[in-house]
Amino acid sequence: MSMIFAKPSMRTRVSFETGFSLLGGHAIYLGPDDIQMGKREETRDAARVLCRYNDIIMARVFGHQDILDLAKFATVPVINGLTDYNHPCQIMADALTIIEHVGRLEGTKVVYVGDGNNIVHSWLLMASVIPFHFVCACPKGFEPDKETVEKARKAGISKIEITNDPKEVVQGADVVYSDVWASMGQKEEAAYRKQAFQGFQVDEFLMKLAGPKAYFMHCLPAERGVEVTEGVIEAPYSIVFPQAENRMHAQNAIMLHALGL
Protein backbone atom coordinates (compact mmCIF):
# COMPACT_ATOMS: atom_id res chain seq x y z
CA MET A 1 0.00 0.00 0.00
CA SER A 2 1.24 3.47 -0.74
CA MET A 3 0.24 6.04 1.90
CA ILE A 4 0.27 9.60 0.54
CA PHE A 5 0.40 12.28 3.23
CA ALA A 6 0.15 15.90 2.10
CA LYS A 7 -0.61 16.85 5.75
CA PRO A 8 0.79 15.78 9.14
CA SER A 9 -0.63 12.78 11.02
CA MET A 10 -0.01 10.48 13.95
CA ARG A 11 -3.13 8.28 14.26
CA THR A 12 -3.83 7.86 10.54
CA ARG A 13 -0.26 7.01 9.63
CA VAL A 14 0.46 4.63 12.49
CA SER A 15 -2.95 2.92 12.46
CA PHE A 16 -2.85 2.29 8.70
CA GLU A 17 0.80 1.21 8.69
CA THR A 18 0.44 -1.09 11.71
CA GLY A 19 -2.95 -2.38 10.60
CA PHE A 20 -1.79 -3.24 7.10
CA SER A 21 1.25 -5.00 8.51
CA LEU A 22 -1.00 -7.05 10.84
CA LEU A 23 -3.02 -8.07 7.77
CA GLY A 24 0.18 -9.31 6.13
CA GLY A 25 0.85 -6.30 3.91
CA HIS A 26 3.58 -3.69 3.64
CA ALA A 27 2.83 0.03 3.73
CA ILE A 28 5.06 2.73 2.21
CA TYR A 29 4.92 6.25 3.71
CA LEU A 30 5.09 9.10 1.19
CA GLY A 31 5.36 12.41 3.06
CA PRO A 32 4.57 15.92 1.85
CA ASP A 33 7.99 16.33 0.22
CA ASP A 34 8.03 12.97 -1.57
CA ILE A 35 5.37 13.43 -4.24
CA GLN A 36 4.39 17.12 -3.92
CA MET A 37 1.14 16.31 -5.68
CA GLY A 38 0.00 19.09 -7.96
CA LYS A 39 3.49 20.67 -7.92
CA ARG A 40 6.22 18.13 -8.77
CA GLU A 41 3.75 15.56 -10.12
CA GLU A 42 0.18 15.74 -11.37
CA THR A 43 -2.27 13.81 -9.20
CA ARG A 44 -3.48 11.72 -12.16
CA ASP A 45 0.12 10.72 -12.97
CA ALA A 46 0.85 9.74 -9.35
CA ALA A 47 -2.32 7.60 -9.38
CA ARG A 48 -1.39 5.83 -12.62
CA VAL A 49 2.17 5.10 -11.47
CA LEU A 50 1.49 3.98 -7.88
CA CYS A 51 -1.20 1.48 -8.88
CA ARG A 52 1.41 -0.34 -10.97
CA TYR A 53 3.45 -1.04 -7.81
CA ASN A 54 0.81 -1.30 -5.09
CA ASP A 55 -2.51 -3.10 -4.52
CA ILE A 56 -4.10 -0.21 -2.63
CA ILE A 57 -3.54 3.52 -2.05
CA MET A 58 -4.40 5.55 1.05
CA ALA A 59 -4.15 9.34 0.85
CA ARG A 60 -4.47 12.35 3.14
CA VAL A 61 -4.76 15.47 1.00
CA PHE A 62 -5.94 19.07 1.16
CA GLY A 63 -8.42 19.45 -1.71
CA HIS A 64 -11.17 16.82 -1.98
CA GLN A 65 -10.73 16.82 -5.78
CA ASP A 66 -7.30 15.21 -5.26
CA ILE A 67 -8.80 12.10 -3.65
CA LEU A 68 -11.44 11.94 -6.41
CA ASP A 69 -8.71 12.21 -9.05
CA LEU A 70 -6.62 9.50 -7.38
CA ALA A 71 -9.67 7.22 -7.35
CA LYS A 72 -10.51 8.08 -10.96
CA PHE A 73 -7.05 7.41 -12.40
CA ALA A 74 -5.79 4.55 -10.19
CA THR A 75 -6.80 1.00 -11.07
CA VAL A 76 -6.59 -0.08 -7.39
CA PRO A 77 -8.81 0.95 -4.43
CA VAL A 78 -8.12 4.41 -2.99
CA ILE A 79 -8.93 5.08 0.69
CA ASN A 80 -9.62 8.62 1.91
CA GLY A 81 -7.41 9.33 4.94
CA LEU A 82 -8.86 12.87 5.30
CA THR A 83 -9.48 15.75 2.95
CA ASP A 84 -10.55 19.33 3.67
CA TYR A 85 -14.11 18.11 2.96
CA ASN A 86 -14.40 14.86 4.94
CA HIS A 87 -12.76 12.20 7.12
CA PRO A 88 -14.66 8.94 6.56
CA CYS A 89 -12.20 6.56 8.28
CA GLN A 90 -12.51 8.61 11.48
CA ILE A 91 -16.29 8.35 11.47
CA MET A 92 -16.19 4.58 10.81
CA ALA A 93 -13.96 4.25 13.91
CA ASP A 94 -16.31 6.56 15.85
CA ALA A 95 -19.33 4.47 14.89
CA LEU A 96 -17.53 1.31 16.03
CA THR A 97 -16.66 3.01 19.35
CA ILE A 98 -20.28 4.08 19.91
CA ILE A 99 -21.50 0.55 19.14
CA GLU A 100 -18.98 -0.83 21.68
CA HIS A 101 -19.92 1.62 24.45
CA VAL A 102 -23.61 2.43 23.89
CA GLY A 103 -24.54 -0.89 22.28
CA ARG A 104 -25.70 0.57 18.96
CA LEU A 105 -25.43 3.65 16.73
CA GLU A 106 -29.03 3.44 15.50
CA GLY A 107 -31.33 5.68 17.52
CA THR A 108 -28.53 7.39 19.48
CA LYS A 109 -28.14 11.15 19.85
CA VAL A 110 -24.71 12.48 18.81
CA VAL A 111 -24.10 16.15 19.60
CA TYR A 112 -21.07 17.65 17.88
CA VAL A 113 -19.89 20.97 19.35
CA GLY A 114 -17.51 23.21 17.37
CA ASP A 115 -16.56 23.93 13.78
CA GLY A 116 -18.80 22.58 10.99
CA ASN A 117 -15.77 20.92 9.41
CA ASN A 118 -14.76 17.68 7.61
CA ILE A 119 -15.69 15.58 10.67
CA VAL A 120 -19.23 17.02 10.57
CA HIS A 121 -19.52 16.29 6.85
CA SER A 122 -18.61 12.66 7.46
CA TRP A 123 -21.12 12.46 10.34
CA LEU A 124 -23.78 13.88 8.00
CA LEU A 125 -22.92 11.30 5.33
CA MET A 126 -23.14 8.55 7.97
CA ALA A 127 -26.56 9.94 8.97
CA SER A 128 -27.65 9.51 5.33
CA VAL A 129 -27.34 5.73 5.66
CA ILE A 130 -27.78 4.87 9.37
CA PRO A 131 -30.69 6.27 11.42
CA PHE A 132 -29.68 8.34 14.44
CA HIS A 133 -30.07 11.89 15.74
CA PHE A 134 -27.17 14.11 14.69
CA VAL A 135 -26.80 17.63 16.05
CA CYS A 136 -24.09 20.10 15.02
CA ALA A 137 -23.80 23.09 17.39
CA CYS A 138 -21.44 25.60 15.78
CA PRO A 139 -20.94 29.38 15.88
CA LYS A 140 -22.73 31.47 13.25
CA GLY A 141 -20.65 31.48 10.07
CA PHE A 142 -19.04 28.10 10.84
CA GLU A 143 -21.92 25.88 9.71
CA PRO A 144 -21.22 22.73 7.65
CA ASP A 145 -21.54 22.63 3.86
CA LYS A 146 -25.19 23.35 2.94
CA GLU A 147 -25.34 20.71 0.17
CA THR A 148 -24.12 17.99 2.54
CA VAL A 149 -26.69 19.00 5.17
CA GLU A 150 -29.38 18.95 2.47
CA LYS A 151 -28.25 15.52 1.25
CA ALA A 152 -28.46 14.09 4.78
CA ARG A 153 -31.90 15.64 5.34
CA LYS A 154 -33.19 14.49 1.94
CA ALA A 155 -32.10 10.91 2.70
CA GLY A 156 -34.88 11.05 5.33
CA ILE A 157 -33.18 8.48 7.55
CA SER A 158 -31.86 10.50 10.48
CA LYS A 159 -32.92 13.54 12.45
CA ILE A 160 -30.46 16.35 11.58
CA GLU A 161 -30.20 19.59 13.56
CA ILE A 162 -27.80 22.49 12.93
CA THR A 163 -27.85 25.06 15.72
CA ASN A 164 -25.78 27.86 17.24
CA ASP A 165 -26.42 27.00 20.91
CA PRO A 166 -24.92 23.80 22.37
CA LYS A 167 -26.67 24.28 25.74
CA GLU A 168 -30.09 24.14 24.09
CA VAL A 169 -29.50 20.83 22.33
CA VAL A 170 -27.11 18.78 24.47
CA GLN A 171 -29.65 17.27 26.88
CA GLY A 172 -30.12 13.53 26.41
CA ALA A 173 -26.99 13.10 24.27
CA ASP A 174 -25.41 9.66 24.12
CA VAL A 175 -22.23 11.30 22.81
CA VAL A 176 -20.86 14.84 23.01
CA TYR A 177 -18.20 15.20 20.32
CA SER A 178 -15.54 17.88 19.94
CA ASP A 179 -12.70 18.71 17.53
CA VAL A 180 -10.01 21.38 17.32
CA TRP A 181 -11.27 24.85 16.41
CA ALA A 182 -8.46 25.49 13.91
CA SER A 183 -7.71 22.47 11.71
CA MET A 184 -4.63 21.79 9.58
CA GLY A 185 -4.23 24.67 7.14
CA GLN A 186 -6.17 27.11 9.42
CA LYS A 187 -3.49 27.70 12.07
CA GLU A 188 -3.08 31.35 11.02
CA GLU A 189 -6.77 31.81 11.94
CA ALA A 190 -6.32 30.28 15.43
CA ALA A 191 -6.59 33.56 17.42
CA TYR A 192 -9.63 34.76 15.47
CA ARG A 193 -11.29 31.35 15.82
CA LYS A 194 -10.66 31.26 19.59
CA GLN A 195 -12.72 34.46 19.86
CA ALA A 196 -15.45 33.26 17.49
CA PHE A 197 -15.82 29.92 19.31
CA GLN A 198 -16.34 31.33 22.81
CA GLY A 199 -19.20 29.37 24.40
CA PHE A 200 -18.40 26.25 22.38
CA GLN A 201 -15.90 24.65 24.75
CA VAL A 202 -17.02 21.24 26.03
CA ASP A 203 -16.67 21.67 29.79
CA GLU A 204 -18.01 19.93 32.91
CA PHE A 205 -21.15 22.12 32.89
CA LEU A 206 -22.06 21.13 29.33
CA MET A 207 -21.47 17.44 30.10
CA LYS A 208 -23.73 17.79 33.19
CA LEU A 209 -26.43 19.34 30.98
CA ALA A 210 -26.02 16.40 28.57
CA GLY A 211 -26.90 13.99 31.37
CA PRO A 212 -25.45 10.90 33.06
CA LYS A 213 -25.39 8.60 30.02
CA ALA A 214 -23.30 10.95 27.82
CA TYR A 215 -19.85 9.88 26.65
CA PHE A 216 -17.26 12.39 25.46
CA MET A 217 -15.51 11.80 22.12
CA HIS A 218 -12.81 13.73 20.24
CA CYS A 219 -10.97 12.65 17.08
CA LEU A 220 -7.66 14.00 18.48
CA PRO A 221 -5.25 15.72 18.63
CA ALA A 222 -6.97 17.86 21.29
CA GLU A 223 -6.09 21.29 22.65
CA ARG A 224 -6.92 21.03 26.35
CA GLY A 225 -8.30 24.29 27.75
CA VAL A 226 -9.47 25.37 24.28
CA GLU A 227 -12.22 23.19 22.72
CA VAL A 228 -12.33 20.83 25.75
CA THR A 229 -11.35 21.12 29.40
CA GLU A 230 -8.74 18.86 31.01
CA GLY A 231 -11.48 17.62 33.39
CA VAL A 232 -13.73 16.43 30.55
CA ILE A 233 -11.11 14.73 28.39
CA GLU A 234 -9.69 12.92 31.45
CA ALA A 235 -13.11 12.01 32.93
CA PRO A 236 -14.32 8.37 33.19
CA TYR A 237 -16.98 9.17 30.56
CA SER A 238 -14.28 10.18 28.03
CA ILE A 239 -13.71 7.41 25.46
CA VAL A 240 -11.17 9.23 23.29
CA PHE A 241 -8.48 6.52 23.58
CA PRO A 242 -10.65 3.50 22.67
CA GLN A 243 -11.88 5.79 19.87
CA ALA A 244 -8.29 6.32 18.67
CA GLU A 245 -7.55 2.58 18.90
CA ASN A 246 -10.59 1.83 16.78
CA ARG A 247 -9.09 3.73 13.87
CA MET A 248 -6.95 0.68 13.25
CA HIS A 249 -9.70 -1.94 13.63
CA ALA A 250 -12.19 -0.02 11.46
CA GLN A 251 -9.57 0.65 8.78
CA ASN A 252 -8.46 -2.99 8.72
CA ALA A 253 -12.05 -3.91 7.88
CA ILE A 254 -12.17 -1.15 5.22
CA MET A 255 -8.92 -2.38 3.64
CA LEU A 256 -10.08 -6.02 3.58
CA HIS A 257 -13.38 -4.94 2.04
CA ALA A 258 -11.65 -2.73 -0.56
CA LEU A 259 -9.29 -5.56 -1.49
CA GLY A 260 -12.19 -8.03 -1.73
CA LEU A 261 -10.66 -10.29 0.96
Whichever of 80 and 90 has its CB closer to ligand CP, that residue is: 90
Site for ligand CP in 209-238 (CB under 6 A): 219-220
Whichever of 12 and 229 has its CB closer to ligand CP, that residue is: 12
Cα distance between residue 111 and residue 184, in whole Å: 23
Whichever of 133 and 227 has its CB closer to ligand CP, that residue is: 227
The C-alpha R_g of the chain, in whole angstroms, comes to: 18
Q: Please, are residues 34 and 59 in contact by the beta-carbon 8 Å criterion?
A: no
9 contacts ligand CP (rule: CB under 6 A): yes
Catalytic position from the list 51, 136, 138, 219? 219
10 contacts ligand CP (rule: CB under 6 A): yes
Q: Is 198 exposed, middle or buried (0-12, 13-18, 19+ CB in 10 A)?
A: exposed
How many residues bind to ligand CP according to rule CB under 6 A? 8
Q: Where does the chain have alpha helices with state H?
A: 11-22, 32-35, 43-50, 64-73, 88-102, 118-127, 146-155, 166-169, 190-196, 204-210, 230-233, 240-258
- Sequence letter at residue 28: I
Among 12, 83, 148, 183, binds ligand CP (CB under 6 A): 12
Cα distance between residue 236 and residue 222, in whole Å: 17
* Stretch in the footprint of ligand CP (CB under 6 A) among 10-18, 31-39, 48-56, 166-174: 10-18
Whichever of 10 and 190 has its CB closer to ligand CP, that residue is: 10
258 contacts ligand CP (rule: CB under 6 A): no
11 contacts ligand CP (rule: CB under 6 A): yes
Angle, in degrees to the nearest 10, between helices 11-22 and 240-258:
50
Rounded to a whole number of angstroms, the minimum distance from the CB of residue 5 to ligand CP is: 9
89 in active site:
no
Q: Is residue 166 helix, strand or coil? A: helix
Rounded to a whole number of angstroms, the minimum distance from the CB of residue 179 to ligand CP is: 9
Site for ligand CP in 63-122 (CB under 6 A): 82, 90
Using CB under 6 A as the criterion, which residues of the chain lie in contact with ligand CP when the complex forms? 9-12, 82, 90, 219-220
Catalytic residues: 219
